[in-house]
Amino acid sequence: MRDILETSAIAAGLEIMAIYRRGAEVTIKADRSPVTDADEQAEALILADLARHFPQIPVVAEEQTAQGHVSRIEGEFFLVDPLDGTKEFVGKRDGFTVNIALIRDGVPVAGVVYAPALNVGYSAVEGVAEKFVTDEAGNRSQRRRIGVRACPEQAVVLASISHCTPETEAFIDRCGFYERRSIGSSLKFCLLAEGLADAYPRFGRTMEWDTAAGDAILRAAGGSVHALDGSLLLYGKRNQATDADFANPSFIACGAHRAIYFPDQPAV
C-alpha cells in the first residue's frame, strides 16, 4: 500500500512540475476556486493507478466531484486531491502538494502527502508515519519515522496563507502561542506530525480531500484533528443538513497536547 500510494503521488508530482515550469492553463470552477491543467492531469494519473492496483475500492477525487462524478462509497474509499494549494502553484510558490488518503469507516488509515517543488514527502500506513525526500527524477531516499513533540514551553501555531479568518486570529490570541508560521496546503499537518509545530486551527470551510491525507499522517505520528466540539474529524460525510457532501466543519489539528485546546473533553 505505502509504495503504491507514494509512487502514484510522486508520478503526479513530476507531471505537475512539468506544467509548473512551462506555465499552467488556469480556469475558474463554479465555486470560484482556480483549477489548472496540472490538477486535471495529475488526477487522471492517480485515478488510473488506483484503478489498476485497487479496483474494488471506490475513489472520491476533487476534480471529478466538481464535475458531478461521485463514486458510491461505503466502508472503504480513497480521497484524492491531485493538487492541494492551487493558489500556491499558480503564484509560483512551492508549498503545494499531492494528497492521497484511504478512508475506512470514516477514519483516515493511510495517506501520502507529496510536495514536488520541495522534493519532500510524508506517508502513513498501519500507524507508522514517515518522511522521505526525492531527487529530481522522483527516486526516494532518507526515509525516517516521524512523530509529534511533547508540549513545549514555546508553542508554534500554523496558519493558512490564503484562508485566515477573524476566528483564527481570536484562537491564536487566546492561546498565546510563542510563534506563528504561515504555510499553504496540507503541509501544515505534516509539520505537526514531524514535531516542528504544535497546532493548526482552521475556522472556515475545507473539503475532505484537503485534509484526509495530512490527517492520516498526523494521527499515525501521535496527533489528532478535532471539530470544535472536541470530536475527531470524520470522513465520508454525505447528505449534510448545513453543508455540501464531503465538506468539513471548522477544526483544530494538534500534536500530543490536545487537552490544551479541548480541556473539557475526554482523552482519545
Which alpha helices (H) appear in 81-135, and where do they start and end?
Answer: 86-90
Is 75 annotated in a binding site? The answer is no
CA–CA gap between residue 231 and residue 268 (Å, rounded): 9
H or E element in which residue 247 lies: strand 247-248
Q: Is-contact 255 149, C-beta < 8 A?
A: yes
Q: For residue 167, give Cα distances in angstroms to 174, 231, 243, 252.
A: 10, 19, 19, 12
* Phi, psi of 99, rounded to the nearest 5 degrees: -125, 130
Is 234 annotated in a binding site? The answer is no
Is 62 annotated in a binding site? The answer is yes
H or E element in which residue 243 lies: none
Contacts of 185 (CB under 8 A, 6+ apart): 84, 85, 88, 95, 96, 97, 115
Is 210 annotated in a binding site? The answer is yes
Is 81 annotated in a binding site? The answer is yes
Is 85 annotated in a binding site? The answer is yes
Binding positions are 62, 81, 83-86, 210
Binding site per annotation, positions for substrate: 62, 83-86, 210
Binding residues for Mg(2+): 62, 81, 83-84, 210
